[in-house]
Amino acid sequence: MSTWTVPRIKEMKGRQKIACLTAADYATARLIDGAGVQLVLVGDSLAMTVLGYETTLPVTMGEMLHHTAAVARGVTNALVVADMPFMSYQAAVEEALANAGRFLKESNAQAVKIEGGTIRGPLVRAFVANGIPVLGHIGLTPQSVHEMGGYKVQGKVTGEAQALLLDAKELALAGVFAVVLECVPAALAREITDAIPVPTIGIGAGADCDGQILVTNDMLGFRSGISPRFVKQYASIGEQMATAFEEYRKEVEGGLFPSEENCY
């Protein structure tokens, strides 16, 4: 049993901010866990950051189970949450339950994340009733990129903001242990945080959420393309890797590697 259980994460609301990061592999998960981060999400953003897909939509159950198992092997203390891929939970409750169960049974995750608000109430109830803890996710929900017409801040107009507040309340009532708020105005995130009894985990949602999450590749500077404004880059790993690869190539070409000390 990990140190950071679902009840402990819930109890952190109002006491201590919750630090969360994504991971997709064993080595990174070990480092994140060793740093004391409380929740590790195997986010379906790995579709883009690790697998090179254009959106999160193509990633499969098989791929998510594989990456979740690798992450879980690297984690001792943090809570491991698996993102359910697009169309693994939307079509039917029975299918969703069977798929969610696989993350706990085969990949050693302790909870799953699903996108969507009020519409997911019945599904959250079914998961929780069957012992599967759920992390909600509202605001910018990348699996609905085509419906939203792109990756845009959500809840900027009154009607949208009210709908998101209702979504958060319904998810909390249904039994989620926390809710990710992605790309919503900071004032709305604060209102939602004050209105629900479970922690909010913000990404591009301001400083008043109960916790924060970033995509690890983004915060490490290990990503092609432009980072969204809400990402703070804590390292430039991509640049360091590119420099190392080039130096290696030059040394091999120039006969400098391997040297005496690298030989038997």
Q: Which stretch binds ligand KIV (CB under 6 A): 2-10, 38-46, 152-160, 187-195?
A: 38-46
| 22 lines the binding site for ligand KIV (CB under 6 A) | yes
Sequence-ordered list of residues with C-beta below 8 angstroms from that of 119, at least 6 positions apart, any chain: none
| 33 lines the binding site for ligand KIV (CB under 6 A) | no
Give the residue closest to ligand KIV by C-beta.
43
| 104 lines the binding site for ligand KIV (CB under 6 A) | no
Near ligand KIV in 152-191, by CB under 6 A: 180, 182
Binding mask 67-96 for ligand KIV (x = CB under 6 A): ----------------x-------------
Amino acid at 262: N
**Cβ contact 130:102 at 8 Å:** no
Handedness of CA 78, 117, 162, 197 (dihedral sign): negative
| 210 lines the binding site for ligand KIV (CB under 6 A) | no
Query: Which of 219, 156, 158 has the alpha carbon at shortest distance from 184?
Result: 156
Q: Which of 182, 246, 253, 261 is catalytic?
A: 182
d(CA 24, CA 109): 13
Q: Is 160 annotated as catalytic?
A: no
Among 44, 63, 170, 210, binds ligand KIV (CB under 6 A): 44
For ligand KIV, the closer of residues 26 and 230 by Cβ is 230
| 213 lines the binding site for ligand KIV (CB under 6 A) | yes
**β-strand pairing of 39-42 with 79-83:** parallel
Applying CB under 6 A, what is the total number of residues that bind ligand KIV?
A: 12
DSSP string, 163-193: HHHHHHHHHHHHT-SEEEEES--HHHHHHHH
**β-strand pairing of 200-203 with 211-214:** parallel
Catalytic residues: 182
**Binding site residues, ligand KIV, CB under 6 A:** 22, 41, 43-45, 83, 137, 180, 182, 203, 213, 215
